[in-house]
Amino acid sequence: MTLPLTLPRPAEGVKGQRIRHAAAALLSLLLLFALLGPLAWPDHAAQDLSRFLEAPSLAEPLGRDHLGRSVVARLAHATQLSLMMAVLCVVTALLAGTLAGIAAAWRGGWVDTLLHGLSEAFIALPALLVVLMFSAVANGDLWTLYVGLALAQWVEYFRVVRARSGLVLAGPAVEAAGLFKLGPVHIMRRHLWPELRPQLTTMATFGVGTSILALSTLGFVGVGIQPPTPELGLMITEAFPYYHEAPWMSLAPVLILTTVLAGLLALRSKESST
Q: pLDDT digits over 165-182, tens only?
A: 988 888 888 778 777 777
pLDDT at 218 over 90: no
Q: What is the mean pLDDT of residues 37-45?
A: 91
Q: Report which of 126, 137, 129, 127 is spatially closest to residue 224, judged by C-alpha positions.
A: 137
Look at residue 3 and tell me whether its pLDDT is greater than 50: no
Q: Which amino acid, 219? A: G
Fold adopted by 20-37+67-273: MetI-like fold (1.10.3720)
Domain boundaries, the chain: 20-37+67-273
d(CA 116, CA 271): 29
User: Any bridge partners for residue 64, and if so which?
Assistant: 70
What's the CA gap between 139 and 43, in Å, rounded? Answer: 24
pLDDT above 90 coverage of the chain, percent: 39
Which amino acid is it at 35? L
- The answer to whether residue 116 scores a pLDDT higher than 50 is yes
The pLDDT-based confidence of 138 (bands split at 50, 70, 90) is: low
3-state secondary structure of 3: coil
